[in-house]
Every structure is written in C-alpha cells, then in structure tokens.
Structure 1
Amino acid sequence: MTTPLVIDAHHHVWTADYPWLASKPEFAPIRRDYGVADLRANLKAAGVDRTVLVEAAWGHPSETVEFLHLAGAVDEIAGVVGFVDLLDPNLAHTLARYANHPRARYLVGLRDQVQARGEADFLARPDVIAAFKLIATAVPTFDLVVRPDQLPAAAEAAAAVPELRFVLDHLGKPEIRLGSAGLRAWWDAVAPFAKQPNAFAKLSGLVTEADWKQWTPNDLRPFVQAALELFGPDRLMFGSDWPVCELAATYTRVKDALAETLGGGDRDVFGGTAARVYQLGEL
C-alpha cells in the first residue's frame, strides 16, 4: 500500500518588489525574495510532497503566466491558482490567454483579491455571478480570499453557480485573536457558505489571524474543530500560507500545529481533498 502524498494547498512565491509588501511596516520581515530553493527547503523539512501555488496579489495576468511556466519546471508544484479580475471587461480574453499557455494543464483555479474590495455584497452582484459562470467553463475552482463580512455573499455566489467549486482561503479569516467572540462571529457568517455542496475551505492562514507572538495550537483548535463540524474533512484542506505565515510561525510549525489540533495527519485534509477538488490528476 502506497503512502498518500502530503499536499500543501496554499502557498506563494514572490519577489521583494511586490507593492503590498511595502504597504505596512509589519510586513518588513517577509519583504524579500522567496523562490523555489526556499520552497523546497521548507517542503523537505516539513515532509510535504506536492503543492498548489497561489497568486500573490501582483494583480496582473503576467504573474499567472510566469507561475504556469514555473509549475512546469518544478516537480513539487502540482497546480496553480492564478489571478483574475472579476470585473475585467476582457475576462474572456484573459481566460483564453491562460488556456493557450503551453502549460495550461497546471491552471487548477483562479482568484481575485476580493478582500480588498469595499462592498460586503460584492460576490453577489449580477455581473460577478456572470463572471463566475464564465470562469466555470475554464477552471474547476475559484478561491475566495474574503473578509468575514463578505461571507454571506460568498454563500449566495456558491448557490448561484453550482457548477463551480468555491474554495474558501484561510477559513474566511476569522478573528482568532478575539477567542470565543471571534469564533461566534465567524461561525454565524460562514455557516450558510458551508451548507453549499460546492463549498470547500482551507485550514490556512490561521496563525496570522491569531496573536503573532503568543499564539499556541490551543488558540487554533476551536476554529479547526468548528471547521470540521461545518465542512467535514472531505471538504477541508491543509495550506501553509507560506511565506505569509513567517510573520507568526515557520512552515513546519504551521503544519505541526494543524496536525496537533486535528489529532493526527488526516488523509483528506493533508492531501486527498486538494487532489480531488483541484483535479491534480496523477501525482
């Protein structure tokens, strides 16, 4: 019997000139180049076999094109979640550009920086729903990086476009540092989304929603257990959110903390869900 592969469903690479890295002084520790050599060192140390590389807020299709080239050259990268602007008037052209890429097979999903949009109901807008329907003809999934107040609209979008799988990054960014109050507010917001059969979520980005300096696995545990109750392990996946996680923890500590809160290395969470949802094929 073969040992299942461990898959990190959410990480990035970037260069120090990404504008958002200079937007806040607290990002200074991660304002540097993070490339393949850094990635491989962390994967080896943590015992991770394959990954999904996610757009890193460069905000232009050129990043996705570059990431597809990278995926074709790096065995560990099994798929790419690329960038798309949901309000792009030339969305069909952008999707065609990706489809015509020589390594288009690595494009397993798309993402927009919805968390940066002011409207709480942005994802429920008719023009955004139309964009999702078009995206569903090109890729199997759409990653949602959203604020908690945007979660109700995420549920509406998932209900309106059942042919697209919606993957909630970072559990919808619950305010873990607020403890039980953060848990109650997040549960109320995320529960309608979790009820949708095409809704999935990543156990990623949690350490940076906790107290960066003093968090422990016990701070994460109520949110992880709530996610298990809401989604079940077959709709949850591990993501390191590296290098962002380095603001609060090393790659290995993030993986180990999640395993501790789960009581072990759940096969679905640590690989099976990602392989199925992102249609990663033979690994």
Structure 2
Amino acid sequence: MSVSAVPKIDAHQHFWRYSPENYRWINDQMTVLKQDLLPKNLIPQLAAHGIQGSVLVQACSRFDETRWLLNLAEENDFVKAVVGWVDIAGSALGSQLALLQQQPLLRGVRHQVQDEASPADWLANSAVGRGVEQVQRQGYVYEMLVNQQHLDALATFAGRHDRHYLVLDHFGKPDLSQGVAHWVKQVKPLAAMPHVSCKLSGLLTEPRPRGFAPNDLLPWFDAALSLFGSQRLMFGSDWPVCLLAGDYGNGKSLCQQATEALSPTERDAIFGGNACKIYALHSDLTGVSHESAS
C-alpha cells in the first residue's frame, strides 16, 4: 500500500501559560485546562497519531501572546503556522502588523468574537471591517469564532470580506439540541461563499443533549461535507480544549470515521492538504520533533 505524500496537519491547536486574568474563558468546570499546556505536552500526542505539523491558534486577546506563540513556533519545528491576535479595530493595528511582517510563520489572525458583549455589532463595526480588509490585503487568513446564534451576522460579514481566505472555527459552534437540519440552514449562506472554509473541530466539547454519544455527531460531519465539500474542510484537534471531552485521539477518530467513505485524495485534503493550501505551509514538512524548547 502506498503512503500518502500529503502531510497530516492538525489545523487547530493552542498553547498557553495559564493565568486567570488572561484566559478568562476557562471557567471553574475546566480544571484540566487550568495549567500550563505547552509543546512538550502535545508532541507525544502528535507522534502517536501520525501528525506531521500543526497550526497554532491564539487563545487570548493580547498582542504579547501572539509574539510568544511565534517564538514557540520558531523553537518547535512541528508548528508550521501561527494564527495570532492583533487589535483589528484599534489604532495600533498598523504598527502591530508592521512588527509581524518580520515573522514568516504568522499566517492568520483571529479575534474571539463570541466573547464580545454584542458579537453581531462587533462584526458590523466599520473599524473592524477596515482592519479585516487590511489583514486580507497583506495575505493573512482571517479566522471566525462565533456561536451559532451569530452565524447570520457572520455570513453578512463574510460577504464583505472576500479578498482572501476566511475560516469558520468549530463548525460555527452549533446548538446540537436543535438538530443538524437547523445547523445546515444557519451555515448554508457561509458555505455558499468559495472563500470560506470550515474546521472540523470542537464538536465534542459543545453541549450535547442527554444521551448523545460521540457517534451521534456524525450527521454534522456529513452535512459539512455536503455543504463545503472535501476541498474546504480541515481536521483540527482543538487541543488542549479537547481534553474536556476525553483525549486527543477522540476527535481524530471521529473525523476519520466521518470521512472513511471518501476517496484517499479527499481524506488527504481534509487531514492536511487543505491546511497546506490555506495557510501556505512549506512543502518540506519534516515531521514531528520529539524535542521541545518549552
């Protein structure tokens, strides 16, 4: 049996040095996350599951976290790209982007829109719009993190920003209790836009109806495949947040199960090829180093 030349990429993972003031979204029910979670903690998982590289995503709305993540990426060769945070609606945006131009591993930016007092108002804000236009002009991916109740506002936002790739994180965080047909209706306008891709990540940690087993989530994967196609979907572990629902392998196993009927080419795209394209990853991926600087 031939081995695929397409590298396996985890398109969504995080690191942090935990502090309550910087990671306020980590609540008292998330004790497993209230610790430093660093490359040395993830490397064994990537190696065990045959993952050659990762996309490291911000988890804190601070520019100094972005610079720290970029330093980690330089020190750990399995991190192939960073999605950081910049003050996208603020006066500091230009100077921050100027500093980051010297950082080749920065490939995208994200803001935790779901944590805004009014996500819909934030998405409609003209200063935000100008900031997104600027980061797209400079060739950065913009990642979109909202809860399902703001997918309508997000579709309007995405329609205004088609200069470069947009990526929907975590299926758009669906309300599983309302069923897959409800989610399809919500996300269909986004999926109709060819510059929008979606991460197959985070579903295991969304609140589930009583009695819902992991396999009961497969219809959302099937629907995502129908809506976006295999060329606009990416596997992401959402490590270490995924630890709230088990271990690293649970999410990967679910995604493998959901895609087992696809062709090898389609599976390769979801498990690495699409991330390589969207984040412009280097072709000379050399695998996971078992040494970490942190």
The aligned residue for residue 279 of structure 2 is 278
State the one-letter code of the partner of 1:211.
R
2:201 and 2:236 in contact (8 A); partners too: yes
Q: CA deviation at 1:137?
A: 2.3
Cα deviation digits, residues 10-55 of structure 1 (max 9, x gap): 0001122153357521111221111111110110122211000000
The aligned residue for residue 87 of structure 1 is 89
Classify 1:239/1:134 alpha carbon distance in 2 versus 1 (closer, same or farther; 3 Å): same
Q: CA deviation at 1:79?
A: 0.3
Cα deviation digits, residues 145-175 of structure 1 (max 9, x gap): 1111221222222221211211000010012
The aligned residue for residue 104 of structure 2 is 105
2:264 paired with 1:267? no
How many equivalent pairs are there?
276
Q: Distance in 2 between matches of 1:65 and 1:213?
A: 41
2:231 paired with 1:229? no
Classify 1:235/1:162 alpha carbon distance in 2 versus 1 (closer, same or farther; 3 Å): same
Cα deviation digits, residues 107-131 of structure 1 (max 9, x gap): 0100011111123243233222211
Bigger relative contact order (CA 8 A; separation at least 6): 2
Q: Distance in 2 between matches of 1:166 and 1:274?
A: 12
Q: CA deviation at 1:214?
A: 6.3
The aligned residue for residue 150 of structure 1 is 150
SS in 2 for 1:105: coil
The aligned residue for residue 13 of structure 2 is 11
2:169 and 2:198 in contact (8 A); partners too: yes
RMSD after superposition: 2.0
Classify 1:11/1:68 alpha carbon distance in 2 versus 1 (closer, same or farther; 3 Å): same
The aligned residue for residue 71 of structure 2 is 69
Which structure 2 residues correspond to residues 112-131 of structure 1 after superposition, within 5 A?
112-117=111-116, 118-131=118-131
2:251 paired with 1:254? yes
Cα deviation digits, residues 92-118 of structure 1 (max 9, x gap): 111112113xxx110010001111112
1:21 and 1:31 in contact (8 A); partners too: no
Match of 2:193 among 188, 191, 196: 196
TM, length-normalised to structure 1: 0.91
Q: Distance in 2 between matches of 1:243 and 1:159?
A: 32
SS in 1 for 2:120: coil
2:119 and 2:146 in contact (8 A); partners too: no
SS in 2 for 1:25: coil
Cα deviation digits, residues 59-98 of structure 1 (max 9, x gap): 2111111111111111110000001233222211111121
Structure 1 runs, 4 residues or longer, greater than 6 Å off: none
Q: Distance in 2 between matches of 1:142 and 1:99?
A: 16
Classify 1:263/1:85 alpha carbon distance in 2 versus 1 (closer, same or farther; 3 Å): same
Q: Distance in 2 between matches of 1:52 and 1:223?
A: 23
Unaligned runs of 5+ in 2: 286-294
SS in 2 for 1:80: strand
State the one-letter code of the partner of 1:281.
H
2:90 and 2:127 in contact (8 A); partners too: no
Percent pairwise identity: 36
Cα deviation digits, residues 192-221 of structure 1 (max 9, x gap): 111111100000001001439965332210
Classify 1:132/1:22 alpha carbon distance in 2 versus 1 (closer, same or farther; 3 Å): closer
The aligned residue for residue 245 of structure 1 is 242
1:158 and 1:164 in contact (8 A); partners too: no
The aligned residue for residue 30 of structure 1 is 33
Q: Distance in 1 between matches of 2:192 and 2:151?
A: 12
Moved more, 134-143 or 110-119: 134-143
